Amino acid sequence: MTNYDKIFNGPNLKAARIRTKEKVNIVHDAYELPLGMADFGKGKTYYLKTYGCQANERDSETIAGILETMGYQEIDDIDHADLIVLNTCAIRENAEDKVFGKIGYVKNLKKFNPNLILAICGCMAQEESVVNKILEKYQHVDLVFGTHNINHLPKLLQQANQEKDVTVEVFSTEGDVQEDLPAKRADKYKAWVNIMYGCNKFCTYCIVPYTRGKERSRLKEDIIKEVAELVDQGYQEVTLLGQNVNSYGNDLELGYDFGDLIKEVAKTNIPRIRFTTSHPYDFTFAMVDAINSADNIMPYIHLPVQSGNSEILKLMGRKYDREQYLELFNYIKKTMPNAAITTDIIVGFPNETDEQFEDTMSIYDYCEYDLAYTFVYSPRNGTPAAKMADNVDLQVKSDRLRRLNDMVNEKAMKANKKFEGRIVEVLVDGPSKKSDKVMSGYTRENKLVNFAAPSDLTGKIVSVKITEAKTWTLNGELVG
Ligand code: 5AD
Ligand code: SF4
């Protein structure tokens, strides 16, 4: 019997694939600290590191909120923490490698602090193969908990503290939608707001539908209430989060969709609304019109294309072809000519030919995206694409990536150049990375701007005249 066979609460790939028609419960005000846990973290510190996407960023806010109700205090020095939580990402192999490196590092820390608790959560915790590897090779891990198990964290910490063996609780089938969990928001002016969890698309390369479960939408009323509270607290921006925001509401069957939701959110008068990520298949023209209908919905759309070739798109299970993507893209360009559009692209999908890759280059050339996140395909255990034979050399894949990135840079510069001389609205984030006399913030189109200004403008929306475009950022002067 392997270590893994002893674990009953570990992830299960087969169970993670299942999608039932059953409605999930939406649970309000159910969170309670178990008896005696309110002081568990008193006088102790935690270090929380987040990998991956905004869904993880938002989950980390809940984890931090829960830990602070237990008395823990956050520190950013991993070497001196009593509890280390790694909220992990499984999207590509290199994301996982980074986490295993960090887990290895913590082994040494345990020599100095034997009471140190190491917890692994997030998308890697949902993977059967990863948990197996942890149990076999990284036995200094104390706790593994899944993306559906965050609300059990106090109970699990108690257990991990008492037991010598690793504590594992990973539900492969999604739980209820838990409203009203504690949260410690990372920012005072910009907030993440989940509108839905999970994903039902099952793109053949992607691990997310397995790690995040079935699509579950939050009720419109709960989302609006959260945004209204953020407005009261002085927040300037919300980003509505979902793996595929365009399928929001499908599971609720209450007769409203993403377009209806975003129009309602706009009525809260939060100054800025963003949303991510969009999926071209579920993105209707009516949703484009809804985005275009209110001034506080930002003209910025992240619209992953993944490939410009229809055969590859079919193999990827994207459910749209090149022409259908372009139809949507053209509609957005026509109705929102000033909107910024960015994308995600995977090169080197199994057996991608030179000609098929050229279609990706040509769609990029046509769309002239503001920016793109580009990746070499990384096989993910348990996904259909990982079983496909692949005749493309790694060198060929990285050459394609380089060529594509050259075009990404060229078009990014071209898009940024259009801003030179314009006066734009910037929500000030705070001092820039380079100097505390230079502030940085984002335009409505999500362009990062650096400009000289006093730091008390943080959290304000100011006018900036763009003086110089660079590939990734804009420089400007404060004008009011
Ligand atoms: N390999 C490479 N890139 C991937 N992505 C998702 N899965 C993989 C994978 N297996 C990319 C997609 C997605 C982005 C978040 O990550 O482009 O849109
Ligand atoms: Fe990474 Fe995807 Fe999980 Fe986000 S949902 S943390 S991108 S694997």
Q: What DSSP assignment string belongs to 158-224?
A: HHHHH-SSPEEE--SS---EE-S-----S-SSEEEEE-EE------TT--HHHHH-S-EEPPHHHHH
Residue 390's CB is within 10 A of a number of other CB atoms, namely 16
Ligand 1 pocket test: which of 206, 211, 278, 352 has the largest number of ligand atoms within 8 Å of its C-beta?
A: 206
pLDDT by residue for the chain (480 residues), tens only, comes to 344 444 558 899 889 999 988 889 999 999 999 988 999 999 999 999 999 999 999 999 999 999 999 999 999 999 999 999 999 999 999 999 999 999 999 999 999 999 999 999 999 999 999 999 999 999 999 999 999 999 999 999 999 999 989 999 999 987 789 999 999 999 999 999 999 999 999 999 999 999 999 999 999 999 999 999 999 999 999 999 999 999 999 999 999 999 999 999 999 999 999 999 999 999 999 999 999 999 999 999 999 999 999 999 999 999 999 999 999 999 999 999 999 999 999 999 999 999 999 999 999 999 999 999 999 999 999 999 999 999 999 999 999 999 999 999 999 999 999 999 999 999 999 999 888 899 999 999 999 999 999 989 999 999 999 999 999 999 999 997
Are 377 and 346 in contact, with CB atoms under 8 Å apart? yes
Partners of residue 274 on adjacent β-strands:
239
Secondary structure letter of residue 456 according to DSSP:
G
Q: Which residues pair with 475 in a beta bridge?
A: 450, 468
Of 124, 344, 394, which is best to mutate to test ligand 1, by the most ligand atoms within 8 angstroms of its C-beta? 344
Consecutive H or E run containing 342? strand 340-347
Q: Is the CB of 208 under 6 A from ligand 2?
A: yes
Model confidence, pTM: 0.96
| Domains of the chain by start residue, with CATH | 4-169 (3.40.50.12160), 177-417 (3.80.30.20), 423-478 (2.40.50)
Instruction: Extract the tokens encoding 265.
Output: 């959110």
| Cis peptide bond upstream of 277, omega within 30 | yes
400 lines ligand 2 (CB under 6 A): no
85-116 as b/e, with b when 16 or more CB fall inside 10 Å? bbbbbbbbeebbeebbebbeebeebeeeeeeb
- CB-based contacts of 172: which residues, under 8 Å, 6+ apart? 11, 12, 13, 15, 16, 126, 146, 213
Q: Rounded distance, CA 46 to CA 28, Å?
A: 27
Q: Which residues of 170-200 are buried (b: 16+ CB within 10 A; e: fewer)?
A: bbbebbebbbebbbbbeeebbbbbbbbbbbe
Choose which residue among 51, 53, 92 to substitute to test ligand 1 binding: the one with the highest number of ligand atoms within 8 A of its C-beta. 92
Residues with CB under 6 A from ligand 1: 91-92, 205-206, 304, 306, 344, 346, 375, 377-378, 380
Q: Which atom of ligand 2 is nearest to the CA of 56?
A: 6
Alpha-carbon distances of 105 from 45, 115, 121, 123, 131, rounded to whole Å: 18, 16, 17, 20, 18
Contact 346, 375 (CB under 8 A): yes
Which pLDDT belongs to residue 1? 37
Ligand (nearest to CA of 401): 1
Across-strand partners of 143?
Answer: 119, 167
